[in-house]
Amino acid sequence: MKLRSKKNDIQKLRDQLDILERKNKDLEDKLASLHPGTFRDPSDPYILETAVNLEFLGTGLYEPGRNLVRLSSVALKMFGLGDENKEMILDNYLQLIPAEEKAAVVRSFHEVQGTGKSQLIDYRIIIQNQERDIRHVASHIKSLKTDIGRELLLFTISDISRQEKTKRELLRAKEKTEDSDKLKNIYLSNISREIRIPMNSIVGFAELLNIESITPEEKNEYVKIIKLQSNLLLKLIDDISEVSRLEAGEVKINKSPCNLNLLLNELLGNSSQQKKIHKKEHLELKLNIPDKKGIVTYTDSGRLQQVLTNLISNAIKFTEKGYIEFGYTQKEQLIEFYVKDTGIGLNKDEQRQIFDRFKYDEETVTRKYEGSGLGLTIAKGIVRLLGGKIWIDSEPGKGTTIFFTIPLEEVPDENIEKEIINEHTPFEFNWKGKLILVVEDDDVNFKFIETILLENQAQVLRANNGLQAVELYRSINKIDLILMDIKMPEMDGFEATRRIKMLNKQIPIIAQTAFALDEDREKCLQAGCDEHVTKPIDIKDLMLKINHCLNP
């Protein structure tokens, strides 16, 4: 939109130059009408006043024979001069022009002189005020003859400073657009590379699973690699989606009471898993919190956890030895969080662009340290939505500390109990005798869910679309739970859920969908679903929710 505006300004400049040409022609016609065929001698005051005082346009007459310049009242105002300066020698006129442009003006006068031709030039002038402002002007120069054979050079002066500024801004915008396009191409190239790396592992190790001679230990290792690379790929896709939503203003903040100590202790456990993923088990993780009780504040705990997770993960990635420390302090009505590492550090230029999603090129540290670089961009966007700010303190070779704040909105006498699931909790359930309807149009997805359910002794019934699900539920009254896909042919999961709930409000329905945004979850709940799981499905999450619905 800005570029289009600049182009419009350039067109206006061209239109004004056309008007300037027409005004100059009008001036010539006005002079010619005073004495047909030739002009009277310029020593005639009436002729001079008529020639140089064309309204709204600065004009001047230069007589080479007398080396004299005469300026109109409009031109004098342009230069910041009084009427006592309406006549001056050429050298004095040139003093009103920056030194580096004087030669070009004199050359233009000489090229027009004696030829009968005209010339259009632009140059800068020095305004005779205290600030010595500089303006850009366009000047049309025309050679004329008087009735006694003397030559005049008639020149007009039009202030084009605004147009020149527009032109410079347009050029800068063009250069910025070109730079942005270049950075976007690099960004897309890096994203493509980051997608292909885990995909190569997933496809490759999936093929290796078909080899008959592999040992059970090798098979388990290949499965772990496939799962790890799948999670990395999913994280990348989520990051790309999150950046787009942040830029579009679609990310919403949902505040609720949050116990910061509980949140950070949970992050400490999750970060230990991050160390394993990056093979950095030797790094020490330190948590610094003010006291055991901790602060309870109104904020979006999910988004806050997302910011800290991104910062901690980034610190682990760029730290080879030493430690990662994170925590918070209270500063009046602000809570200040920090994540500190003893990693590679950043120079000043890198610090200035660290939160820019287009910061990376092929020569940066990302060649050594894998990742899309979107985590910090997302962190900055979320911190702003939470009402805080984020900044960095770093030195090459000495590590980095990233700080951010959020407002303190205290919750008096409030305590939050948060259920933390131990990763060693057994996830084996007995659903014998339970009939579960799986509404899924994709055969591979159905096979995946069916395997989980059969492993836990449930009976499985399938519907290929929402319409079929409604009919099956009408005809079979022994269904205990429904796993409902959302995007399907003939009838989607929203409508199918509404119709089934009209038949029985008590039947538990769990939405299972690739739509992962908060508002998508809300749509599912509004349609009547009791729970919601996101594809790719986390098996533990699905099993816990199924068990909770079957045994409330």
Q: Convert the pLDDT of each residue in 210-254 to its tens digit.
A: 888 888 888 888 888 888 778 778 777 777 777 777 877 878 888
d(CA 480, CA 457): 14
For residue 144, the SS3 value is strand
d(CA 12, CA 163): 8
Task: Enumerate residues 6+ apart whose C-beta is below 8 A from 53.
Answer: 59, 72, 73, 74
**Phi, psi angles (nearest 5°) of residue 536:** -65, 135
The radius of gyration of the chain from alpha carbons, rounded to an integer in Å, stands at: 38
- Give the pairing of strands 435-439 and 481-485: parallel
- Answer whether the bond into residue 536 is a cis peptide, omega within 30°: yes
Per-residue 3-state assignment (H helix, E strand, C coil) for 466-515: HHHHHHHHHHCCCCCEEEEECCCCCCCHHHHHHHHHHHCCCCCEEEEECC
Tokens 């896909």, located at residue? 485
Most confident by average pLDDT, 65-74, 499-508, 538-547: 499-508
- The strand pairing partners of 297, in sequence order, are 258, 410
- Give the pairing of strands 509-513 and 481-485: parallel
For residue 153, the SS3 value is strand
Query: Residues 87-100: what's their mean pLDDT?
Result: 91
Q: What pTM was computed for the model?
A: 0.50
Q: Which fold has domain 2-159?
A: Beta-Lactamase (3.30.450)
Q: Higher pLDDT residue, 24 or 188?
A: 188
For residue 26, the SS3 value is helix
319 and 256 Cβ atoms separated by less than 8 Å: no
Residues in the chain: 552
Whether pLDDT at 358 is above 80: no
Write the single-letter amino acid at 355.
F
Whether domain 176-247 has CATH 1.10.287.130: yes
Superfamily of domain 435-550: Response regulator (3.40.50.2300)
Neighbouring C-alpha atoms within 13 Å toward the C-beta of 113: 14
**Phi, psi angles (nearest 5°) of residue 340:** -115, 140
For residue 321, the SS3 value is coil
pLDDT band of residue 175 (cuts 50, 70, 90) is: confident
pLDDT band of residue 479 (cuts 50, 70, 90) is: very high
Number of Cβ atoms within 10 Å of the Cβ of 120: 15
d(CA 372, CA 193): 9
Residues of the chain with CATH 3.30.565.10: 256-407
Q: 3-state DSSP: the chain helix, strand, coil percent, rounded to 5?
A: 45, 20, 30
d(CA 319, CA 370): 13
- Give the pairing of strands 151-159 and 134-145: antiparallel
**Phi, psi angles (nearest 5°) of residue 55:** -65, 140
d(CA 151, CA 106): 16
Q: Which fold has domain 256-407?
A: Heat Shock Protein 90 (3.30.565)
d(CA 78, CA 69): 15
d(CA 420, CA 326): 20
Token pair listed for 136:
């850009």
Residues of the chain with CATH 1.10.287.130: 176-247
Token pair listed for 463:
């519907």
The alpha carbon torsion through 13, 14, 16, 20 (nearest 10 deg) reads 130
Stretch among 291-300, 326-335, 356-365 having the lowest mean pLDDT: 356-365
Write b or e for each residue in 408-441: b if 16 or more Cβ atoms lie within 10 A of its Cβ, otherwise e: beeeeeeebeeeeeeeeeeeebebeebebbbbbb
488 and 441 Cβ atoms separated by less than 8 Å: yes
Whether pLDDT at 34 is above 50: no
Residues of the chain with CATH 3.40.50.2300: 435-550
Q: 178: exposed, middle or buried (C-beta count within 10 Å: 0-12, 13-18, 19+)?
A: exposed
Question: What single-letter DSSP state applies at residue 373?
Answer: S
Residue 325 has a pLDDT of: 93
Query: Residues 502-529: what's their mean pLDDT?
Result: 84
88 and 66 Cβ atoms separated by less than 8 Å: no
Tokens 């670089």, located at residue? 373
pLDDT band of residue 378 (cuts 50, 70, 90) is: confident
Whether pLDDT at 397 is above 80: yes
Residues of the chain with CATH 3.30.450.20: 2-159
Write b or e for each residue in 255-271: b if 16 or more Cβ atoms lie within 10 A of its Cβ, otherwise e: eeebbbbbbbeebeeeb
Whether pLDDT at 424 is above 70: no
d(CA 102, CA 125): 10
Q: Convert the pLDDT of each residue in 13-29 to its tens digit.
A: 566 656 656 655 665 55
Strands (E), 382-449: 390-395, 399-407, 435-439
- Answer whether the bond into residue 64 is a cis peptide, omega within 30°: no
